Amino acid sequence: MPMREDIEGTTAKYLRDKYAIVGVGETDYRRGSTLSTRAMATRAVGNAMRDAGLKASEIDGMLSYQFNDSAFSPLVAGDLGIRLNFYMDVFGGGSSTEALIGIAIGVIEAGMCKTVVIFRSMNGFSQVRIGGTGARAAAPVVGDMLHSRAYGWQSAGQSFAPSFMRHMYDYGTTAEQVAAVRVAHSHHASNNPKAFYKKRVTVEDVINSRMICKPLHLLDCCVETDNANAIIVTSSERARDMRHVPVKIRGVVGRCSKPRSDMHYQTGPISTVAGHYGKEILWPNSGVGPEDIDVTGSYDAFTFTTMLQLEDYGFCKKGEGGHYVSDGTIKLGGRRPNNTSGGHLCEGYTHGIAMVIENVRQLRHDADDSCPIGPDGRRQHTYDYGEGGCRQVKNAELSANLGWASPGTGSALVMRRG
């Protein structure tokens, strides 16, 4: 039997392609789900199991993330008849999905379980709203919040805005350039039957929408919805026998942070975000670079978060993010489309997991658009990206997902068609 020393284990490279995503599923994006987070989670996990072709007895691990606003794994697993060898429900938002995929690899590698389902379930419109209105606005201001919420500085947009504003100052980035992110994502959403907002918008629509907090207009901000999403991770060896082409995991970054994650504005440049550090982990571990990537999935809580992440992960030179997101590159039909589902700006909001699901479908060459279904039961993609048409990226082989908790903390994931 080979000893561990025989394997190059000093870097993560030996894990490249060893694990895969084999199932994805979600519930509808709605405002008013009429379901508990527990019921939505069981439906999303059930949909992912059917997508993979896996029975309850073939899943033995579960991970979820939440902000005290969702159901816990033992209840969801119990409802579905899944007996768990491992589970963990962690605190967190937009930097979680990619990090939990890394944790799933780790616990399978450690022999704690064999197949892990990851879910996020939230009634983000009808129960606990992320922006801080409702129940969150009434909670006492304590501890670190005495230096933020007490100043009316509490929603995600308000908190991140000084980074966005400073980028405009440092590099001359314009509101019009960044608005192009919303335009691109709205075009993509118009080809996504699941999307909550399917209407295509223009740069003028974004700039003329009402100001929320400078530099963010209403249409620079994402939609709030109710829904649940789920992803199943297992070994590539097991994945060979499953329904779909496996989507293999090349490399992950989990909650990589700038210095002073308690208040990252203490360390500049404040127009630089966590991707500046994350890229030093992502690309060497994945064995590819930004130029190799066919489709990206960025955390588009705001138009600006997409621009900053693409820039700091090296898809363009530092300071040229405004140009990159507005020159056609990120649109379907462009060199490297971003958020082909419409993302959080248009499809719906679930803390980053939906953009990973979209890229899994892209790499399967099975984007669920309105293209006709052929005799083999698969969509016959037309690559006509006109309104209501196709949203499959032609010959997509490699994707990158960029998760965001704040300017100071992010996660990332590179996947390839197996």
Q: Is the dihedral of CA 244, 245, 246, 248 positive or negative?
A: negative
Q: Which of 213, 223, 301, 405 binds other proteins (CB under 8 A)?
A: 213
Q: Which of 11, 78, 83, 151 binds other proteins (CB under 8 A)?
A: 151
Asked whether position 209 contacts other proteins by CB under 8 A, the answer is no
- List all residues 6 or more positions away from 26 whose beta carbon is below 8 Å from its beta carbon: 44, 47, 194, 227, 228, 229, 230, 350, 354, 357
Site for other proteins in 357-376 (CB under 8 A): none
Asked whether position 83 contacts other proteins by CB under 8 A, the answer is no
Q: Which of 46, 162, 289, 314 binds other proteins (CB under 8 A)?
A: 162
Q: Which of 46, 131, 333, 334 binds other proteins (CB under 8 A)?
A: 131
- Write down the catalytic residue from 299, 313, 324, 385: 299
Q: Which of 50, 137, 384, 386 binds other proteins (CB under 8 A)?
A: 137
**Residue 93 vs 251, nearer CB to other proteins:** 93
The span from the CA of 221 to the CA of 188, in Å, is 16
Asked whether position 161 contacts other proteins by CB under 8 A, the answer is yes
Quick check: is 19 catalytic? no
Quick check: is 349 catalytic? yes
Cβ proximity of 371 and 352 under 8 Å: no
Cβ at position 349, least distance to other proteins in Å: 17
Question: DSSP for 294-324?
Answer: SEEEE--SBHHHHHHHHHHTTSS-TT-HHHH
Amino acid at 255: R
- Write down the catalytic residue from 65, 277, 313, 349: 349
The span from the CA of 218 to the CA of 208, in Å, is 9
Q: Which of 73, 95, 97, 155 binds other proteins (CB under 8 A)?
A: 155
Asked whether position 195 contacts other proteins by CB under 8 A, the answer is no
Cβ proximity of 296 and 343 under 8 Å: no
Cβ proximity of 233 and 118 under 8 Å: yes
Cβ proximity of 45 and 54 under 8 Å: no
Give the position of tokens 């974004």: 206
Tokens encoding 328: 């056609």
Cβ proximity of 193 and 369 under 8 Å: yes
From residue 248 to residue 277, the character string flagging contacts with other proteins as x (rule: CB under 8 A) and all else as - is -----------xx-xx-xxxxxx-------
The span from the CA of 97 to the CA of 356, in Å, is 8
Cβ at position 214, least distance to other proteins in Å: 4
Select the span of 21-29, 160-168, 325-333, 343-351 touching other proteins (CB under 8 A). 160-168
Question: DSSP for 51-91?
Answer: HHT--GGG--EEEEEESS-S--HHHHHHHHTPPPSEEEEEE
Asked whether position 305 contacts other proteins by CB under 8 A, the answer is no
Tokens encoding 155: 């929603």
- List all residues 6 or more positions away from 193 whose beta carbon is below 8 Å from its beta carbon: 368, 369, 370
**Residue 163 vs 191, nearer CB to other proteins:** 163
Q: Which of 50, 55, 199, 214 binds other proteins (CB under 8 A)?
A: 214
**Residue 4 vs 210, nearer CB to other proteins:** 210
Select the span of 25-33, 120-128, 152-160, 190-198 touching other proteins (CB under 8 A). 152-160
Asked whether position 149 contacts other proteins by CB under 8 A, the answer is yes
Cβ proximity of 408 and 257 under 8 Å: yes
Cβ at position 69, least distance to other proteins in Å: 17
Residue 24 backbone phi and psi in degrees, to 5: -140, 150
Select the span of 40-48, 65-73, 203-211, 373-381 touching other proteins (CB under 8 A). 203-211
Cβ at position 322, least distance to other proteins in Å: 13
Give bridge partners of residue 257 from the DSSP assignment.
Answer: 409
Site for other proteins in 163-192 (CB under 8 A): 163, 165-166, 168-169, 174-175
Cβ proximity of 264 and 270 under 8 Å: yes
Decide: helix, strand or coil at residue 323: helix
Cβ at position 174, least distance to other proteins in Å: 8
Cβ proximity of 51 and 28 under 8 Å: no
φ/ψ bin of 87: left (φ > 0), alpha (ψ from -120 to 50), beta (otherwise):
beta
Number of residues that bind other proteins (CB under 8 A): 46
Q: Which of 109, 144, 237, 387 binds other proteins (CB under 8 A)?
A: 144
Binding site for other proteins (CB under 8 A): 131-133, 137, 140-144, 146-155, 158, 161-163, 165-166, 168-169, 174-175, 207, 210-215, 259-260, 262-263, 265-270
Catalytic residues: 299, 349
